[in-house]
Structure 1
Amino acid sequence: MDRVLGVDACKTGWVGIALGEAVDAYYAETIADLVAKAGSVCLVAVDMPIGLPDIGCREADVRAREEIGGMWLSVFMTPTRAAIDAPDYASANERNRDLDGGGISKQAYSLRTKLLEVDRWVRETPHEVVEVHPEVSFAKLNGQPLVARKKTWAGAAHRRRLLAGAGIVLRDDLGEAGKHAAVDDVLDAAAAAWTARRVARGEAVSYPDRPEVFSDGLPAAIWA
Structure 2
Amino acid sequence: MPDSADLWVAGVDGCKAGWIAVLRNLNNPRELQLRLFPAFSDLLGVAPVARIIAVDMPIGLPDWIGPEGRGPEKAARNHLGLRQSSVFTVPSRAAVYEDDYPAACETAQKTSQPPKKVSKQCFHLFPKIREIDALMTAELEARVYEVHPELAFWRLNGKREMSLPKKIKSRPNPEGLDQRRDLMVSKGLDRAFLDQKPPRGCGRDDLLDAAANSLIAERIFLGQAEPFPKDYRRDERGLRMAIWA
TM band (smaller chain): over 0.9
Give the alignment partner of residue 40 of structure 2, picking from 28, 31, 35.
Answer: 31
Could you tell me which residue of structure 1 aligns to residue 213 of structure 2? Answer: 192
Could you tell me which residue of structure 2 aligns to residue 2 of structure 1? Answer: 7
Could you tell me which residue of structure 2 aligns to residue 15 of structure 1? Answer: 20
Give the CA deviation at 1:173: 3.9
Q: For structure 2, which runs of at least 5 residues remain unmatched after alignment? A: 1-5, 167-171
Q: 1:71 to 1:173 in 2, by over 3 A?
A: closer
Within 5 A, what are the aligned runs for 1:40-189? 40-56=49-65, 57-100=69-112, 101-123=115-137, 125=140, 128-143=143-158, 144-150=160-166, 151-170=172-191, 171=193, 172-173=195-196, 177-189=198-210
Q: Equivalents in 2 of 1:87, 1:153: separation in Å?
A: 34
Secondary structure of 2:42 counterpart: helix
Q: Is the 8 A contact 2:24 2:214 kept in 1?
A: yes
Q: Equivalents in 1 of 2:141, 2:150: separation in Å?
A: 27
Secondary structure of 2:61 counterpart: coil
Could you tell me which residue of structure 1 aligns to residue 169 of structure 2? Answer: none
Secondary structure of 2:200 counterpart: helix
Q: Equivalents in 2 of 1:104, 1:215: separation in Å?
A: 21
Alignment RMSD: 1.7
Secondary structure of 2:50 counterpart: coil
Give the CA deviation at 1:126: 8.2
Q: For structure 1, which runs of at least 5 residues remain unmatched after alignment? A: none
Q: Equivalents in 2 of 1:73, 1:216: separation in Å?
A: 28
How many percent identity over aligned positions? Answer: 36
Give the CA deviation at 1:34: 3.0
Give the CA deviation at 1:125: 4.7
Name which one, 1 or 2, has greater alpha-carbon Rg: 2
Q: Is the 8 A contact 1:137 1:192 kept in 2?
A: yes
Could you tell me which residue of structure 2 aligns to residue 214 of structure 1? Answer: 235
Q: Equivalents in 1 of 2:22, 2:241: separation in Å?
A: 23
Give the CA deviation at 1:178: 3.1
Secondary structure of 2:20 counterpart: strand
Give the CA deviation at 1:179: 3.4
Q: Which has the higher helix share?
A: 1
Q: Equivalents in 2 of 1:112, 1:12: separation in Å?
A: 15
Q: Which moved more, 1:180-189 or 1:124-133?
A: 124-133
Q: Equivalents in 1 of 2:178, 2:244: separation in Å?
A: 24
Q: Equivalents in 2 of 1:180, 1:25: separation in Å?
A: 14
Give the CA deviation at 1:127: 5.9
The alignment's TM-score, normalised by the length of structure 2, stands at 0.85
Q: How big is each residue's C-alpha offset from its partner over 1:41-66, in whole Å with a ceiling of 9 and x where there is no partner? A: 11101100000122122111101111
Aligned residues: 222
Whichever residue aligns with residue 135 of structure 1, its letter is E
